[in-house]
Amino acid sequence: MSSPTRSGGSGTADLPRTGLERKIGPLQATAINMTQMCGIGPFVTIPAMVATMGGPQAMFGWIIGAIIALADGLVWAELGAALPGAGGTYIYLREAFQYRTGRLMPFLFAWSAVLFIPLIMSTGIIGLVQYLGYLIPGVVDDGGVTPLGKIIGIVIIAVIVLALFRRIGQISKLTTVLFMIMLFAVFTVIVAAFSHFSGGQAFAFTPGAFGSGGAFWGGLGAGLVIAIYDYLGYNTTAYLGGEVRNPGRTIPRSIIFSILGIMTLYFLLQVGVLGSIPLDQLKNATSVASTVLEQAWGTVTAKVITVFIIIAAIGSVFAGLLGGSRVPFEAARDKVFLPVFAKLHPKLNLPTAGVLTMGVITAIGSLFTLTDVINAAVTVLVIIQSLAQVAAIWVLRRRQPALKRPYRQFLYPIPTIIALAGWVYIYISATTLSIILSVAWIVLGVVAFGIYAAAEKTWPFGPKEIREEFVLAQKSTEEGLEA
């Protein structure tokens, strides 16, 4: 095998090279993360969480999920602050693993992200349509979402994609509005729940639930798959790193603040719902929030607030597709993905192919059941993103000690170890079919990479090209200041 060659670069954070605009400030960054995190997720997964963990003890599943999310968020915070470019994980894996496996890891991430990001977004559409069923007869029935509901879901996806075709400055303002709508919807449901709250009902834990072999431990793994799904989105600003102002400060703060904020909202929402809806009724509910609102303030108010919940869900999908579309864009610019994904809209400076492709896959995913899509998306995400990033933070500290790190992980490496243990546990707790499909997808990706590498004459069929882009960009900036 040929020895590695080193080449320079202007740094992904160099905006004239990317064509992207840094228009996202601290408030907009946090709003984007929280809007993506709290779309429809908790409103549709609370019944599944309670059923999976056998009762009100499900509230502790949210707390454990938050701990894993916060630990992983600190991994994202260091990497995002040090390597603030479009594509997030794509850049982190490219920089960390280029020394041994060339472009394999960033290729596999781009290959997988084009699947798991829109699949996660499709769960938002599925949940959104379930709540539409409270307003529109014939959208859902005992068997789930009807053909009419699926058609409506696809139309909504098309509208979201069209809304993304605007400049990032306009998008960040729109996201802030959606964020405020999300907060209003969640706070209203929480207030409604606590207006007729029964503490005895909320904390009536299943007898023996926390004992050895109890309901809590038996359902914890599957419950964490649901909980971590509901927390996903705290990393959205890292995907938009090339469009964030002062990313060294903004990205870490937006990640940490959004996790802590959403954790508080989720816990209050979970406890409130448990104390306001009888357990037997809760396990079979399809629109929990609407039921809580109707019990508290009547049908008219419930329908009005349900509209806001649906808008919040649309905002979540909007924010997710916004960030996710930047992944294939960055990969294509590196000539690791199809060239069409590297093209920006001539007037709006957005990655057109990425937005359209992820919109189509979101539409396809919306045709399946909620739990199947959650399991499929989470398992693919864990194996090629979450576990790989845990390794990346270690590798980069050793391989690129000169890399400027505006934020260094607090109590390193403890959060990294917690994140590693949490992700491994979540992965092995997913359904067997989802695990098999995730492994098969990665194997297929390795085969696709082999074909690509042979055509491009790169590792393992040619030399590795080592490009420490951010280190070189920092040195170039420092030399320019000295001159």
pLDDT digits (tens, 9 = 90+) for 216-269: 999 999 999 999 999 998 998 998 888 898 999 999 999 999 999 999 999 999
How far is the C-alpha of 383 from the C-alpha of 386, rounded, in Å? 7
Are 309 and 154 in contact by the 8 Å Cβ rule? The answer is: no
The reply to whether omega before 413 is within 30° of 0 (cis) is: yes
Domain hosting 32: range is 11-438+464-482
CA distances to 108, 115, 125, 251, 355 from 368, in Å: 25, 14, 11, 34, 21
- The pLDDT of residue 385 is 93
Please list, in sequence order, all residues whose beta carbon lies within 8 angstroms of the beta carbon of residue 243, skipping any fewer than 6 positions away. 20, 21, 22, 23, 24, 86, 168
CA distances to 122, 180, 294, 379 from 177, in Å: 22, 5, 26, 32
How far is the C-alpha of 193 from the C-alpha of 191, rounded, in Å? 5
Specify if 379 maps to a domain. Answer: yes
- The pLDDT of residue 480 is 65
Residue 170 above 80 pLDDT?
no
How far is the C-alpha of 239 from the C-alpha of 425, rounded, in Å? 25
Tally of structural domains, the chain: 1
Concatenated DSSP letters of 61-79 = HHHHHHHHHHHHHHHHHHH
- Per the prediction, the chain carries an average pLDDT of 88
| Average pLDDT of the residues in 390-402 | 95
Return the structure tokens found at 175.
């996201």
Specify if 393 maps to a domain. Answer: yes
Q: pLDDT digit string (tens) for 442-467?
A: 999 999 999 999 998 999 999 988 88
**SS3 per-residue string spanning 302-345:** HHHHHHHHHHHHHHHHHHHHHHHCHHHHHHHHCCCCCHHHHCEC
Specify if 238 maps to a domain. Answer: yes
Q: How confident is the model at residue 54 (pLDDT cuts 50, 70, 90)?
A: confident
Specify if 217 maps to a domain. Answer: yes
Residue 124 above 50 pLDDT?
yes
Specify if 2 maps to a domain. Answer: no
Please list, in sequence order, all residues whose beta carbon lies within 8 angstroms of the beta carbon of residue 71, skipping any fewer than 6 positions away. 415, 416, 418, 419, 422
- The pLDDT of residue 441 is 94
| Average pLDDT of the residues in 183-199 | 93
pTM of the model: 0.86
Specify if 446 maps to a domain. Answer: no
Specify if 445 maps to a domain. Answer: no
pLDDT > 90: percent of the chain:
57
- The pLDDT of residue 167 is 76
Q: How confident is the model at residue 327 (pLDDT cuts 50, 70, 90)?
A: confident
Residue 478 above 80 pLDDT?
no
Task: Specify the CATH number for the domain of residue 231.
Answer: 1.20.1740.10
Residue 432 above 70 pLDDT?
yes
CA angle, 42 then 46 then 51, to 5°:
155
Specify if 160 maps to a domain. Answer: yes
Return the structure tokens found at 442.
């990665």
Residue 14 above 70 pLDDT?
no
pLDDT > 70: percent of the chain:
94
Residue 347 above 70 pLDDT?
yes
How far is the C-alpha of 446 from the C-alpha of 460, rounded, in Å? 12
